[in-house]
Copies of this chain bind each other. A is one copy, B any other.
Amino acid sequence: MTDRDDYIRDGAAIYERSFAIIRAESNLSRFSDAESRIAVRMIHGCGMVEVADAIHFGGGFAAAGRAALLAGAPILCDSKMVAHGITRARLPANNEVICTLDAPETPALAKRIGNTRSAAALDLWGDRLRGAVVAIGNAPTALFHLLELLDAGAPMPAAVIGLPVGFVGAAESKEALRADGRLPYLIVEGRRGGSAMAVSAVNALASDAE
């Protein structure tokens, strides 16, 4: 039999073997148990054990994010891919998953504030920011704009998953989040990040079940 015929078809067995490989190959020694679970899922989402070295937590992120979800906090997402990747069955309080990128007001708002649609969409989060889990997996401008909103007095979220990806502003926006000091955060240093890792982080926070 070739690989093509005898591949593993059982979803639970695939997860179990994947997580065992990740734990065997990754350097997770910097992390608490709760952080390790998050890092393992992020590695699972991107297929790269070496990303462990670029993952950084601050401000008690794992505990703050978990407590917020248990308390029913909404999850505010910068992109539709993040919103649609979150496994609803894992959420502990049927938490609302919100993405305002396609709201009818967003394009005009973007023009008015002179920023991207991804950034402008955050202006529609309003009071839902208070105590929320924010998951940014696409746009550096969204993460920069989040910090601007907080500077201007917007309500504080409980935890921020800051994982914009790319070549212009991604690394800088994540360093700005880390330096900010007001917020429990999770980042991946540098250019890497993206919706898959952001979804993995939310799914890990949502449930202890691997």
Residues of A within 8 A of B (CB): 2-4, 7-11, 14, 17-18, 21-22, 44-48, 79-81, 83-85, 114-117, 119, 140-141, 144, 147, 165-170, 172-173, 175-176, 190-196, 199
Contacts and interface: CB of A to CB of B under 8 A. Distances in A.
B7 A48 contact: no
Chain B CB within 10 Å, residue with most, of A2, A165, A173, A196 = A196
Kindly report how many copies of this chain are found in the complex they form together.
2
Q: Is the interface of A mostly helix, strand, loop or mixed?
A: helix
Contacts of A79: 85
Given A191-B47, A195-B196, A167 B18 contact: yes
B3 A172 contact: yes
A73 B75 CA distance: 35
